[in-house]
Amino acid sequence: MLLTTPAVVLHAFPYLESSRILRLATREAGVQSVIAKGARRARGAQRMTLDLFVEGSAQLYLKPGRDLHTLGGFDLTRTRPGLGADLGRFAAANALGELMLRFVSEEPQPEVFDAFVAALDAVAVAPPGDAASAGLQGAWGLVAALGFGPALEACAVCLAPIPPDADATFGHAAGGVLCPRCAAERGGRRLPAAARDDLRRWTEGLPRPGALDVGTARAHLRLLREFLQQHLHDGRALRAFDAWERDPNGG
């Protein structure tokens, strides 16, 4: 079956003498593994540009029951050169790519793909040395599009409202903020009111006002990583996230 779909390159490595194997985020068929035969040998108009995070219209030959499909063509629409121009932007884009690789199956999830490309666009033009805020907004937007956005207004367990200006406790297993009574029973990580306000904006696709200092960025990245690990259940490390957390803005 031939499927033409918007797609973004998440991972690319050489295969045999002249081919490449790619992991693609696609709008119509989730995340797919494809082989681009002869992609490294072709020249001129035949050559497909398949660098990390480029976006294009991909022609996929999908074989039912197979794990590896064939890429017939890739018509480039966006290259986002800004991602490679700043280490912090690249670290954030890598973490967003890792999120796609780990959370998205071969099922079509167009709204997740749309959130992903919007996040890449925002990160690609983030101020140099200050990409963490755009990256966090993109990551929480992706989490919301995946359908497990955290409860932020009311207790995730008993639904008691939590005033917007109050510090709260974040319970990873419960999937959001906890009231004092449920927090005393279950424990969790302290979430200052300002940080909760950031999360609220990011999950709604709104930017946080002002720059994000490194300490606050790290605290946010730790909370996000713990939340993702709680919902992954497979115990594997999130390597790109770990690297991003160590150095949120690329030095």
Chain residues in the site for Zn ion (CB under 5 A): 155, 157-158, 160, 179, 182
CB of 151 to Zn ion, least distance (A): 10
CB of 36 to Zn ion, least distance (A): 52
Q: CB neighbours of 53 closer than 8 A, spacing ≥ 6? A: 8, 9, 10, 80, 83, 93, 97, 120
CA Rg, the chain, in Å?
20
Q: For the CB of residue 181, give the shortest distance to Zn ion in the complex, in Å.
A: 5
Query: Is residue 251 exposed (0-12), middle (13-18) or buried (19+ Cβ within 10 Å)?
Result: exposed
Q: Report the residue number, 159 or 194, with the smaller CB distance to Zn ion.
A: 159
Nearer to Zn ion, 76 or 160 (CB): 160
- Choose between 117 and 157: whose C-beta lies nearer to Zn ion: 157
Asked if 119 contacts 141 with a C-beta cutoff of 8 angstroms, the reply is yes
In the complex with Zn ion, the residue whose CB is nearer, 68 or 160, is 160
Q: How far is the CB of 187 from Zn ion (least distance, A)?
A: 13
CB of 175 to Zn ion, least distance (A): 13
CB-CB contact of 216 with 199 (8 Å): no
Helix and strand numbers, DSSP H then E, in the chain? 7, 8
Question: 155 or 228: whose CB is closer to Zn ion?
Answer: 155
Interhelix angle 193-203/214-232, rounded to 10 degrees, is 60
